[in-house]
């Protein structure tokens, strides 16, 4: 292994310990791992095996293979955690300390799309600004990479990277603030998905939603990643089983997934009680947490169905 690769492994090991409390620019690490865990539990053995094999074939310079835990647990358990970790990999490669990896694998505008809206007039009713062209590539990228993932003639080394991006983007597209930007008099080009809506203490509305699962789920100081993620995922799955979503689970159009997120953001994320430079009130946190948990569950189930189509049939039954 090259010196740069060894440094990358060391960096990723440290990252695994620290990022649970770090700000992010998508669902944070906990959010992405929980989406992936919910999907893994719904996937067939065929799809799981195919996903594990692809991740094992990832290119060396991506530092994606290195996310497989190295310990004495059975391989199947470590592969499940590898799958989870891969869902966060597109945020890991943002790191500018590894410029070659960043240049090759990071794509900032893949994570989001901005549908614009504005609230004006005495009723302050939100309405879409259809005169502003949506920005961001998440819809096109998720659809294209999912399709390429299912093309067996493509090299496994390429499909491994596509898989990591699909895991990640399926989570991002269900985060309401990854599909919207609110227009105001002082922000005529939008607020960048809540990033410009400051809440104080170096936080903003986007970061608040990114980290809401972690913020509302206590973690014991010595609790490992896998145990923590499984606990949250199992709780959300009990609260929001697949049967609760009905026909929404059958929706395969990723543009519709983004549209759902946009409509949620427009209707309820920018609530009247929110104030700039102030922590959101408790009632807002309860409502936001409820919405986030439902969106994470739906993202996981839809991701599992997507991977069943591209990697293997779900006919043999899920992992539960």
| Degrees, nearest 5: CA angle 73-18-236 | 65
Contact partners, residue 176, CB within 8 Å, separation at least 6: 209, 261, 262, 264, 265, 269, 291, 295
Spatial contact of 119 and 125, defined as CB atoms under 8 Å apart: yes
Question: 251-260 as b/e, with b when 16 or more CB fall inside 10 Å?
Answer: eeebeebbbb
Element (H, E) at 105: helix 99-105
Q: What pairs with residue 198 in β-bridges?
A: 204
| Degrees, nearest 5: CA angle 40-42-44 | 85
Q: CB-side exposure of 170: number of CA atoms within 13 Å?
A: 34
Domains of the chain as residue ranges with CATH: 3-311 (1.10.575.10)
Contact partners, residue 243, CB within 8 Å, separation at least 6: none
Stated pTM of the model: 0.89
d(CA 284, CA 272): 10
Q: Which of 130, 9, 135, 117 is nearest to 64 (CA)?
A: 9
Spatial contact of 194 and 269, defined as CB atoms under 8 Å apart: yes
pLDDT in tens, the chain (320 residues): 444 444 444 434 433 333 333 334 458 999 999 999 999 999 999 999 999 999 999 999 999 999 999 999 999 999 999 999 999 999 999 999 999 999 999 999 999 999 999 987 666 789 999 999 999 999 999 999 999 999 999 999 999 999 999 999 999 999 999 999 999 999 999 999 999 999 977 899 999 999 999 999 989 888 888 999 999 999 999 999 999 999 999 999 999 999 999 999 999 999 999 999 999 999 999 999 999 999 999 999 999 999 999 997 544 334 44
Element (H, E) at 206: helix 205-210
């Amino acid at each position: 292994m090259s010196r740069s690769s060894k440094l990358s492994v060391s960096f990723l090991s440290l990252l695994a310990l620290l990022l649970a409390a770090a700000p992010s620019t998508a669902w944070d690490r906990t959010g992405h791992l929980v989406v992936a865990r919910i999907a893994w539990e719904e996937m067939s053995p065929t799809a799981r095996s195919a996903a594990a094999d692809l991740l094992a074939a990832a290119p060396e310079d991506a530092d994606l293979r290195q996310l497989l835990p190295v310990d004495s647990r059975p391989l199947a358990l470590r592969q499940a955690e590898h799958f989870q970790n891969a869902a966060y990999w597109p945020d890991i490669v943002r790191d500018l300390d590894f410029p070659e990896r960043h240049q090759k694998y990071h794509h900032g505008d893949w994570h989001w799309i901005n549908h614009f809206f504005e609230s004006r007039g005495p009723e302050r009713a939100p309405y879409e600004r259809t005169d502003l062209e949506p920005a961001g590539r998440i819809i096109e990228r998720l659809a294209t990479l999912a399709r390429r993932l299912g093309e067996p003639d493509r090299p496994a080394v390429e499909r491994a990277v596509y898989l990591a991006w699909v895991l990640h983007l399926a989570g991002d597209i269900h985060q309401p603030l990854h599909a919207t930007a609110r227009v105001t008099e002082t922000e005529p080009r939008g607020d960048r998905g809540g990033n410009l809506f400051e809440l104080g203490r170096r936080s903003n509305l986007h970061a608040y939603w990114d980290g809401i699962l972690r913020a509302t789920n206590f973690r014991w100081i010595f609790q490992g990643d896998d145990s923590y993620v499984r606990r949250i995922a199992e709780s959300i799955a009990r609260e929001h089983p697949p049967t609760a979503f009905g026909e929404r689970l059958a929706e395969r159009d990723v543009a519709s997934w983004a549209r759902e997120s946009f409509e949620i953001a427009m209707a309820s994320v920018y609530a009247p009680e929110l104030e700039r430079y102030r922590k959101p009130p408790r009632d807002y946190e309860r409502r936001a947490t409820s919405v986030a948990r439902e969106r994470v569950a739906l993202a996981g189930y839809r991701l599992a169905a997507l991977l069943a189509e591209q990697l293997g049939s779900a006919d043999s039954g899920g992992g539960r």
